[in-house]
Amino acid sequence: MKVKTRFAPSPTGNLHIGSIRTALYSWLFARHHNGKFVLRIEDTDLVRSELISIDSIFNGLKWLGLNWDEGPYFQTKRLDRYKEVINVMLEKEDAYICVCSCQELEEIRKKQIEKGNKPRYPGTCRNLNIKNISNQNHVIRFKNPLFGKVKFQDKIRGEIVFDNAELDDLVIQRSNGMPTYNFCVVVDDMDMKITHVIRGEDHISNTPRQINILNSLKVKIPVYAHLSMILDEKGNKISKRKNAINIIEYYENGFLPEALLNYIIRLGWSYGDKEIFNISEMKELFNLKSITKSSSTVNFKKLLWMNKYYINNSPLDYVSNCLKNYMEKKNINVEKGPDLELLVKLFRSRHHTLKEITESCRYFYEEINFFNHTVIEKYFTRKNCFILQTCYKKIEKLSIWDNKNISKIINDVSELIKVTKKEISMILRISMTGDVCSPSISTVILLIGKEKALLRINNVVNYIKNL
């Protein structure tokens, strides 16, 4: 059997970490088995579906490299097919026309609740064999089996059993002619030959209904695996509409896709004590049986740790390329600054994200025209002005522009005018970066380049003189 999984998001909100985990597990399961991964957009809820959510799905999956082999299918483009299946079911009397009015149904519902019973359709039209409906408002219902049980072996939770007596006759086509959610899922899973359905536990109660319809259509029932919830750091369920962070925000915040995927795979799946999984290891080791039944909680600190790990342990050219793309998206002209591989080398051990690196590197690309009050008060002194002027003269004369020679200037100035190297480095650092922290100042000066370095020194000298 060729494994075929699907990711079937409803485009009714942001693609968040929970949806990505469903996509990732489905994708990995397909990849592990050399199978196929299908993308299906479940957009039949016309009121709540949004184009912006569809974009969020495509962009998120593409950024993370979760490529699909088939699709994207859109349910709204398959309406004829759903109609066709409904007609077959009507013909075979697996479905029937129901003309009960909303008012009637509401009254029945109220009575059932008053009696303490679970509200359910009583089957009024089930055996009426209504055919001639002319213009009358009607829905189409599935003839759910009246007796017996629906059982399935959930790959994560073991056997799950529902009593058919608990399930009423599901509406499969609304009075406006639109097929309903559970029905479309069934037809799609059947037509797309899905072998494994990996989805959130909120769908467990849909599963027996879907199995009954699949049985009536005489198709093989897929294997089901229902994933437990993901909770936010406060312990609340992550919900598309309330507290979900759009996956693209992780990009905006400078996370690497591998780091995010590695973090997400561990939200509910484990392989011994192993924490770091590159993509090939994920594909090789992923299985359904090691998925936990309990809920998982996001941990932002762990994600930051993971990202730092990937920034520091991925090949230099790869990280530099990610940084290049990131900076360009932030409108930084990377051509105007130093070689990005050198920058990554210099900064990566200090930072958790590309965003942090970008912020720390801004002074390579932008002029320094702001100094904060404390810096001015503490460092913009006549003594420092003199230090800078002395450095300027030496830097100006420097013919071989390298780290060694720049460090030597700092040493020489220190001996010449009897100030500590620390003091010299600090005022040079402030002149070069506008700030009191940076990597080794000689390296920073080296990367900034002679011309710009001199300009920046001159700027601060003038600034101090004008105070």
- Contact between 53 and ligand GLU per CB under 6 A: no
How many CA atoms within 13 Å lie on the side-chain side of 246?
18
List the one residue from 157, 193, 203, 345 that touches ligand GLU (CB under 6 A): 203
With respect to ligand GLU, which residue has the nearer C-beta, 10 or 262? 10
Which of these segments, 8-16, 260-268, 290-298, 376-384, binds ligand GLU (CB under 6 A)? 8-16
257 near ligand GLU, judged by CB under 6 A:
no
Q: Considering beta carbons, is residue 51 or 400 the nearer one to ligand GLU?
A: 51
Is 430 in contact with 460 (CB distance < 8 Å)? yes
Q: Which DSSP string do the residues of 323-350 spell out, in sequence order?
A: HHHHHHHTT--GGGSS-HHHHHHHHGGG
Q: Which is nearer to ligand GLU, 85 or 256 (CB)?
A: 85
Tokens of 47: 């009121």
> What does the block give as tokens for 334?
């990377």
240 is in an annotated binding site: yes
Q: How far is the CB of 23 from ligand GLU (least distance, A)?
A: 10
Determine how many CB atoms are found less than 10 A away from the CB of residue 225.
Answer: 23
- Contact region for ligand GLU (CB under 6 A) — 6-14, 77-85, 296-304, 362-370? 6-14
Q: What minimum distance in Å lies between the beta carbon of 8 and ligand GLU? A: 4
Position 43 contacts ligand GLU (CB under 6 A): no
Least distance in angstroms from the C-beta of 119 to ligand GLU: 24
Q: Any contact of residue 8 with ligand GLU (CB under 6 A)?
A: yes
Question: Quick one: 8 or 457, whose CB is closer to ligand GLU?
Answer: 8
User: Could you give the CA distance from residue 333 to residue 113 in angstroms, rounded to a whole number?
Assistant: 66
What is the β-pairing status of strands 171-173 and 139-142? Answer: antiparallel
CB of 296 to ligand GLU, least distance (A): 18
Nearer to ligand GLU, 185 or 282 (CB): 185
Run of H or E residues at 6:
strand 4-7
Nearer to ligand GLU, 180 or 307 (CB): 180
CB 210 to ligand GLU: min, Å? 8
- Least distance from C-beta 28 to ligand GLU, angstroms? 16
Among 78, 199, 308, 348, the residue binding ligand GLU under the rule CB under 6 A is: 199
CA atoms of 218 and 338, how far apart (whole Å): 65
The DSSP H or E segment spanning 262 is helix 257-265
Instruction: Determine the Cα–Cα distance for residues 192 and 438; give it in Å rounded to an integer.
Output: 56
Residue of 190, 205, 323, 201 whose CA lies nearest to 256: 323
Under rule CB under 6 A, residue 213 binds ligand GLU: no
Q: Where are the beta strands (DSSP E) in 89-247?
A: 95-98, 139-142, 149-154, 158-163, 171-173, 196-200, 223-227, 230-231
List the structure tokens of 153.
């072996």
Q: State which residue, 269 or 310, has the beta carbon closest to ligand GLU.
A: 269
Should residue 196 be labelled a site residue for ligand GLU when binding is judged by CB under 6 A?
A: no
Among positions 29, 36, 38, 42, the unique one binding ligand GLU when judged by CB under 6 A: 42
Stretch that binds ligand GLU, among 2-10, 56-64, 148-156, 455-463 (CB under 6 A): 2-10
What does residue 7 show for φ and ψ, rounded to 5 degrees?
Answer: -115, 125
185 lies in the binding site for ligand GLU (CB under 6 A): yes
Dihedrals phi, psi of 224, to nearest 5 degrees: -110, 140
Do 333 and 317 meet the contact criterion of CB atoms below 8 Å apart? Answer: no
If the CB atoms of residues 82 and 364 are measured against ligand GLU, the closer one turns out to be 82
Nearer to ligand GLU, 10 or 414 (CB): 10
Residues contacting ligand GLU: total by CB under 6 A: 7
CA distance 458 to 65: 48
Cβ-proximal residue to ligand GLU, closest one? 199
3-state helix, strand, coil in the chain (%, to 5): 50, 10, 35
Look at residue 97 and give its three-state secondary structure.
Answer: strand
Match 């795979």 to its residue by tokens: 265
d(CA 278, CA 290) in angstroms, rounded, equals 18
Mask 135-174, x = binds ligand GLU (CB under 6 A)?
----------------------------------------
Contact call for residue 9 and ligand GLU (CB under 6 A): yes
Q: Which is nearer to ligand GLU, 184 or 357 (CB)?
A: 184
**Under rule CB under 6 A, residue 10 binds ligand GLU:** yes
3-state secondary structure 124-163: CCCCCCCCCCCCCCCEEEECCCCCCEEEEEECCCEEEEEE
Chain residues binding ligand GLU by CB under 6 A are 8-10, 42, 185, 199, 203
Known binding residues are: 240
Known binding residues for ATP are: 240
